[in-house]
């Protein structure tokens, strides 16, 4: 799972909530949209990154906001199949509508209290780990084929 959030406190809450899950996912966190795309495209520092099976994406971030990152993911043939859940402090209908128009898998407003926040995060994780079928990543190394 890739967590894209510049807010240290929110990221810590997400990570703590996921640690308490029945099957805690492996979480990698980046703090801005450019890092997210570098991670997903395995560029630079992230050249050996493992493709995440889910992206939790905040809307308000420096350099590239969540809508820009979502658009880049969904316009990339190699990335578009990765589920992206918008996890935002915003509950503005314009943000919700724009996210779904850009093919977000879900839009979840960050609850204000810890118990609701943790429950929401674990529900997202449980759904995508246990209930939802997610596509396998494309092969990055082609198998050797003999010409014999």
Between helix 33-40 and helix 66-74 the angle, nearest 10°, is 20
Whether residue 59 contacts residue 7, with contact meaning beta carbons closer than 8 Å, is answered with no
Domains and CATH numbers, the chain: 2-127 (3.40.50.2300)
Q: Give the Cα-Cα-Cα angle 50, 15, 75 (nearest 5 degrees).
A: 45
Is the predicted pLDDT of residue 74 greater than 80, yes or no? yes
Tell me what percent of the residues of the chain surpass a pLDDT of 90: 61
Q: How far apart are CA 111 and CA 135, in angstroms?
A: 29
State the pLDDT at residue 101.
Answer: 96
State the pLDDT at residue 135.
Answer: 66
Higher pLDDT: 115 or 142? It is: 115
Give residue-wise pLDDT tens across range 20-29: 877 788 999 9
For the entire predicted model, the pTM comes to 0.86
State the pLDDT at residue 114.
Answer: 86
Kindly report the number of other CB atoms within 10 A of residue 146's CB atom. Answer: 4
Q: How far apart are CA 22 and CA 130, in angstroms?
A: 11
In whole numbers, what is the pLDDT of the chain averaged over residues? 87
Give residue-wise pLDDT tens across range 52-72: 999 999 999 888 999 999 999
Q: How far apart are CA 88 and CA 105, in angstroms?
A: 14
State the pLDDT at residue 144.
Answer: 36
Give residue-wise pLDDT tens across range 76-130: 999 999 999 999 888 899 999 999 999 999 999 988 888 888 888 888 888 887 7
Whether residue 105 contacts residue 83, with contact meaning beta carbons closer than 8 Å, is answered with yes
């Amino acid at each position: 799972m890739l967590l894209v959030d510049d807010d240290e406190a929110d990221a810590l809450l997400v990570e703590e909530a996921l640690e308490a899950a029945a099957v805690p996912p492996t979480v990698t966190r980046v703090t801005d949209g450019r890092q997210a795309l570098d991670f997903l495209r395995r560029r630079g520092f992230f050249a050996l990154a493992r493709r995440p099976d889910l992206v939790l994406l905040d809307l308000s971030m420096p350099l590239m906001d969540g809508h820009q990152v979502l658009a880049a993911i969904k316009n990339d043939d190699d990335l578009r199949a990765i589920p992206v859940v918008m996890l935002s402090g915003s509950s503005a209908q314009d943000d919700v509508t724009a996210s779904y128009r850009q093919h977000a898998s879900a839009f979840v407003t960050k609850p204000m209290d810890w118990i609701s926040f943790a429950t929401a995060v674990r529900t997202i994780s449980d759904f995508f780990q246990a209930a939802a079928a997610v596509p396998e990543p494309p092969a990055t190394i082609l198998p050797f084929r003999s010409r014999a």
